[in-house]
């Protein structure tokens, strides 16, 4: 089980003055900025160093992780690899035969994990998401937008649904059960959950709140993260966006990858090895128009030489994790041993904040966090 007892910053090699600057910077966006609440955690050496919550939330409040959850999905896959249950060179159709139709036989697990599989916007509505039988039928109907391996384009939800099915085929457990029984449970990460029932969401999960709503009756744009404001969608449990947790448990999850013994070190090293460094093809949604390239491991982004995808440039090239719409971030720097999570329930109606201020906000927080041990 991950050590949850508090540790002083200096004891853990974290500069207390830099930490204070970071915490005050985030709190400023709640006290005098657009965020309704924020929760932040810093951990190192398997220990929690700082955990703070501001605004309309408490320390037990859980947040919808959005893309930050991809790092946790990645860890589940890395565990299968380390346990000898999965090889990324396998063809997906050999594991999930229902996926094969429409020329998808050649798609590999690695291509799914690196967002190069060729079906980035494959649809899966709520009704199909709630039924495994209907999900499998939808997998078969999906068509390729381009040849597998030819383009890097973030697969918004399609990849994670397929990963969840691969986990179930290889373990006999649904992804939610695997996460609970094999990862969250043994580590004592009690807030980490997928598929929160509708009747347990209120008071437990921070409600999504528009930071730029002009009137109480204005409808949220269904694009961006707003589909998750439907409690039924959150309960359906799309793995790469609908995970919920506290910032403390996200930061401690990253620590567990190195300190818990649940993962083989070589599997984590393989998962965080850079497989490609490219601009997301035509993808302004994830910063493809920012001039910065993105480096991909196995379902995580890696800082690499360019620190793309809103990862900090002040950490090491080995730093990995995921940013989430619109003001969220979770990462681990293997060279410094520092992990960080910043979560919020505030979102622009468009879902993503590509304004200069919004981009600078997340970049500034990321760089302050990665620089805490220097």
How far are the Cα atoms of 40, 48, 49, 61, 356 from residue 248, in angstroms, in the given order? 7, 7, 10, 11, 29
What residues contact residue 157 under an 8 Å CB cut-off, 6+ apart? 124, 238, 240, 241
C-beta of residue 38 within 8 angstroms of C-beta of residue 343: yes
Q: Are 288 and 279 in contact (CB under 8 A)?
A: yes
Distances (CA, A) of 127 to 124, 131, 236: 8, 7, 9
Mean of pLDDT over the chain: 91
- In tens, the pLDDT along 217-263 reads 445 455 567 788 899 999 999 998 999 999 999 999 999 999 999 99
Q: What is the pLDDT of residues 290-341, one digit of tens each?
A: 456 899 999 999 999 877 777 999 999 999 999 988 899 999 999 999 999 9
Q: Are 153 and 280 in contact (CB under 8 A)?
A: yes
Nearest to 162 by CA among 228, 235, 87, 110: 110
What pTM was estimated for this model as a whole? 0.94
Task: With CA atoms as reference, report the closest residue to 294 among 3, 62, 284.
Answer: 284
Distance CA 168, CA 173 (A): 5
Structure tokens at 272: 């965080």
pLDDT value, residue 5: 67
The Cα 210–Cα 205 span in angstroms is 16
pLDDT of residue 219: 53
């Amino acid at each position: 089980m991950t050590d949850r007892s508090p540790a002083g910053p200096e004891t853990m090699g974290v500069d207390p003055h830099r930490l204070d600057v970071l915490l005050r910077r985030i709190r400023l966006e709640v006290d005098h900025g657009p965020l309704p609440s924020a929760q932040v955690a810093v951990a190192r050496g398997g220990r929690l160093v700082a955990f703070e919550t501001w605004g309309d939330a408490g320390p037990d409040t859980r947040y919808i992780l959005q893309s930050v959850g991809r790092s946790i999905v990645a860890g589940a896959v890395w565990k299968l690899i380390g346990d000898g249950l999965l090889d990324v060179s396998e063809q997906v159709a050999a594991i999930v035969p229902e996926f094969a139709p429409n020329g998808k036989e050649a798609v590999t697990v690695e291509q799914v994990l690196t967002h190069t599989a060729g079906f980035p916007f494959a649809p899966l509505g709520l009704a199909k998401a709630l039924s495994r039988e209907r999900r499998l039928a939808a997998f078969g109907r999906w068509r390729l937008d381009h040849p597998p391996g030819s383009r890097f384009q973030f697969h918004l939800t399609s990849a994670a649904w397929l990963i969840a099915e691969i986990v179930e085929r290889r373990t006999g457990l649904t992804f939610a059960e695997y996460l609970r029984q094999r990862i969250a449970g043994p580590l004592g990460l009690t807030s980490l959950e997928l598929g929160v029932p509708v009747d347990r969401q209120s008071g437990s999960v921070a409600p999504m709140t528009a930071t730029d709503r002009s009137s109480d009756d204005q409808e949220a744009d269904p694009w961006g993260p707003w589909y998750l404001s439907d409690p039924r969608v959150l309960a359906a449990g799309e793995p790469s966006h609908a995970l919920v947790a506290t910032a403390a448990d996200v930061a401690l999850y990253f620590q567990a990858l190195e300190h818990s013994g649940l993962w083989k070190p070589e599997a984590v090293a393989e998962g965080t090895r850079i497989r490609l460094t490219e601009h997301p093809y035509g993808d302004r949604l994830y910063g493809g128009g920012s001039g910065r390239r993105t480096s991909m491991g196995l379902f995580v982004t890696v800082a690499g030489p360019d620190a793309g995808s809103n990862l900090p440039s002040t950490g090491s090239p080995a730093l990995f994790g995921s940013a989430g719409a619109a003001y969220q971030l979770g990462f681990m720097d293997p060279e410094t041993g520092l992990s960080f999570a910043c979560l919020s329930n505030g979102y622009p109606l468009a879902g993503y904040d590509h304004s200069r201020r919004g981009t600078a906000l997340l970049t500034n927080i990321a760089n302050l966090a990665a620089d805490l041990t220097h």
